[in-house]
Structure 1
Amino acid sequence: MDADDEIVFDMFPFFRQYKSGRVVRSFTDIVPAGIDAATGVASKDVVIDPSTGLSVRLHLPTLGAASHDRKLPVLVYFHGGAFLIGSAFDPHSHHYLNEVVAKASVLAVSVDYRLAPEHPLPTAYEDAWAVLLWIVGGAEAWLSERGDLERVFLAGCSAGANIAHQVALRAGAEALPARARVEGMILLHPYFWGREPVGAERRDAEFRAKEERVWRFVCPESKGVDDPYVNPVAAGAPSLTGVVARRVLVAVAEEDWLRERGRVYCEGLKASGWGGAAELVETKGEGHAFHVSNPRSEKAQELMQRVVDFLGSNTS
């Protein structure tokens, strides 16, 4: 068999890698930045590191003249896709953030981190951290003029939620500038796993072996699925007291195979002595990232409102 025809890793229809090294991905469509006709949100792309291609897309809401000088909370968003697919520029990320920004009146920074397997973990974590430092550095005009760095929120879906957690831990260990503060974190259907099943999690060996193969593919130097990168409550993982966010919202879905992991994370956070406020919300009858595949559904809009309310609340 030709090396370009032999599949060595398969997550059809989302991702395939062939023996030749060639990869085929879904979700590769790109939406150009600009003014969104539906929401009035403006967006633009910024290359942070030309040597690596690390980039972001900024989303800024339309504000009335009376609000023009008001500083906006800064939402740092990491897209999902198993660390293998997706981008800050794809239709899902772009339209989702336009809606969040319009409804919550926040300035969003959507991170286009590098993907595995070409850039295995922890590359995405390093990219995410570099973006946070760039944001709080204040060099970009929209951020310096319109962003409130004392109200930074970290957020992500699935793999992106995993990244948000890693950034929140690192921000707790490596102090940010005094004028910057992570107010909150939003984890939508977070991608965490572990060797031993928890709660009502699937126990069949074949399924669990498949999940471990996926993790080892994106993080080949990993210790396995009890690596703290993917199991934040594993023995030896950094204490969750180090999560720098003052408030955390964890969203899970009843039919999601990752549901129990989100629940365990939220419970672990509360039990750790962390001292912040954590909330778990569950959507009944829906599966993983349902709000991405069906964003106009009633339940997706309910979850959207939860996110908007969380961004708008203030416990200062």
Structure 2
Amino acid sequence: MRGHTVVTAVSVILMYAAIVANSAMDPYKALHIILNPNGTLTRLNISPQSPPSPDPTLPTPVVSKDLTVNKSKHTWVRIYLPHKALDYFPNSKLPLIVFYHGGGFIFDSAASTYFHDFCVRMVHATQSVVVSVDYRLAPEHRLPAAYEDSVEALHWIKASNDPWLRHADYSRCYLMGESAGGNIAYTAGLRVAAEVDKIKPLKIEGLILIQPFFGGTKRSPSEIRLSEDNTIPLPITDLMWNLSLPVGVDRDYKYSNPTVNGGDRILDEIKVLGWRVAVFGCEGDPLVDRERELVKLLGHKGVHVVGKFYEGGRHGIFVGDPSMSVKVFDLVKKSPIM
């Protein structure tokens, strides 16, 4: 027993040593960004971008196009539609998925190839209509700007006369997001639950949260266990929160820690509305314990929630690895989900 205690103590010391080593990392250099005196970022590396494919005469299984949501805010959406909905099923009504991309609130867009390819695969696999939202980024626009843009996009969808959206079944709408986008889908869901009558005929059926980005002032066991993670090391996540949260708040603020003060009161309304929530995670992701805490909170509140956690993996695997994306797509194909 004494030997076991010594080994455990040594393991803890090594974990904290790794955290100290990681803390020496310059996250600005690691992310190739420069914080300017006026609070804006210079992003030295822009991720690959993909244009939409709006031409229905091309032999592509999925068509896509970009439409402006709010010109003054430079926000827009990319709509994806199965090609055969135009050719063979002009009157078909397909599930509607509103997707929010990741990027730590400070990177990427709906045109980023990484997320564009995921949406194309999802539409082809699930025969759904996907609306991918491009929201304002921090620190130029700190939270709650991304939440406001995401809710505004839902109001835009309900009022839109775009012919592609006529293929969407507004009574089967799901909010989905990955990483920071998962955080946005959750928080946008909270906001919409407080005003469901205002977005009719849109009817939210549930939330699909893929490795949602949450945090807290106290390190979680998985953050300590995976302190040397190369995908999202702690100095990187710390910086992302520092650049995106409102000035003057810490990571126990409600935007980053959904469990603070026992969770948002509107969760009681989500229970009454009967929304279903799925949370995807994997054991190789430092954020996994945050995700498990969210599942526990929702279950305690009586919300219909399912946690889908897998061994190994890394942060971003459900979007970046097509074999893991299928696990998300299989859930989407169920009606209703879960």
TM-score interval (norm. to shorter): 0.7 to 0.9
From 276, 292, 298, the equivalent of 1:263 is 292
Q: Number of matched residues?
A: 299
Amino acid at match of 2:247: E
Instruction: For 2:175, give the aligned amino acid.
Output: L
The alignment status of 1:17 with 2:39, answered yes or no, reads: no
Structure with the bigger RCO (C-alpha within 8 Å, sep 6+) is 2
For residues 236-251 of structure 1, the aligned pairs below 5 Å read: 237-239=263-265, 240-243=267-270, 246-251=275-280
TM-score, normalization: structure 1? 0.85
Match for residue 257 of structure 2?
Answer: 231
CA contact (8 A) 2:215 2:252 kept: yes
Question: Judging changes above 3 Å, is the alpha-carbon distance between structure 1 residues 33 and 245 closer, same or farther for their aligned structure 2 residues?
Answer: farther
- Quote the Cα distance in structure 1 between the aligned partners of 2:240 and 2:224: 16
Match for residue 175 of structure 2? 154
**Counterpart-to-counterpart distance in 1, 2:80 and 2:36:** 39
Q: Give, in angstroms, the shift of residue 26 of structure 1.
A: 3.3
* Shift in alpha-carbon separation, 1:269–1:310, aligned structure 2, 3 A: same
- Residue 268 of structure 1 aligns to which amino acid in structure 2? L
- Which stretch shifts more, 114-123 or 283-292? 283-292
Q: Does 1:175 align with 2:204?
A: no
Partner of 1:34: 53
Give the CA deviation at 1:30: 2.0
Check conservation: 1:27, 1:90, Cα contact below 8 A.
Answer: no
Q: Which amino acid aligns with 1:282?
A: F
1:78 to partner: Cα distance? 0.6
CA shift for structure 1 position 305: 2.2
C-alpha contact 1:168 1:245 (8 A) present in aligned 2: no
**For the structure 1 residues 59 and 66, does the alpha-carbon distance in structure 2 shift closer, same or farther, using more than 3 Å as the test?**
closer
Return 5+ residue gaps in structure 1 as ranges.
1-8
Task: Report if aligned partners of 1:187, 1:249 keep a CA contact under 8 Å in 2.
Answer: yes
Structure 1 window deviating more from structure 2 (127-136 vs 210-219): it is 210-219
More helix by share: 2
| Alignment deviations for residues 165-196 of structure 1 (CA, whole Å, 9 cap, x no partner) | 01110111112444221112111111011123
RMSD across aligned C-alpha pairs, in angstroms? 2.7
Distance change (3 Å), C-alpha of 1:305 and 1:290: closer
Between the aligned partners of 1:55 and 1:106, the Cα distance in structure 2 is 20
Which has the greater radius of gyration? Answer: 2
Q: Where in structure 2 are the equivalents of 1:1-316 lying within 5 Å?
A: 10-20=27-37, 21-34=40-53, 40-63=61-84, 67-143=89-165, 145-176=166-197, 177-202=199-224, 211-221=237-247, 223-235=249-261, 237-239=263-265, 240-243=267-270, 246-274=275-303, 276=304, 278-293=305-320, 295=321, 300-301=322-323, 303-315=324-336
Distance 1:131 1:285 in 2: 35
The structure-2 alpha-carbon separation of the partners of 1:241 and 1:27, relative to structure 1 and needing over 3 Å to count, comes to farther
Runs (5+) with no aligned partner, structure 2: 1-25
Instruction: Classify the secondary structure of the residue corresponding to 1:217.
Output: helix
Q: Distance in 2 between matches of 1:90 and 1:200?
A: 29
The 2-side partners of 1:171 and 1:221 are apart by 25
Alpha-carbon separation, structure 2, partners of 1:184 and 1:156: 12
Label 1:180 to 1:40 Cα distance change in 2 as closer, same or farther (>3 A): same
1:25 touches 1:85 (CA, 8 Å); kept in 2? no
Q: CA deviation at 1:246?
A: 1.7
Q: Distance in 2 between matches of 1:216 and 1:95?
A: 30
Fraction of identical pairs, as percent: 31
Note closer, same or farther for the CA distance 1:15–1:271 as it changes in structure 2 (3 Å cut).
farther
Q: C-alpha displacement at 1:22, in angstroms?
A: 4.9
**Cα distance in 2, alignment partners of residues 281 and 204 from structure 1:** 20
Q: Supply the distance in 2 between the matched residues of 1:241 and 1:11 (Cα, whole angstroms).
A: 40
Q: 1:212 to 1:304 in 2, by over 3 A?
A: closer
Per-residue deviation at 1:222?
Answer: 5.2
In structure 2, what is the Cα distance between the partners aligned to 1:245 and 1:42? 32
Deviation at 1:39, TM superposition (A): 5.2
CA–CA separation in structure 1 for the residues paired with 2:325 and 2:227: 35
Aligned partner of 1:157: which letter?
E
- Is the contact made by 1:253 and 1:259 (CA closer than 8 Å) also made in structure 2? yes
What CA distance in whole angstroms lies between the structure 1 residues aligned with 2:173 and 2:317? 26
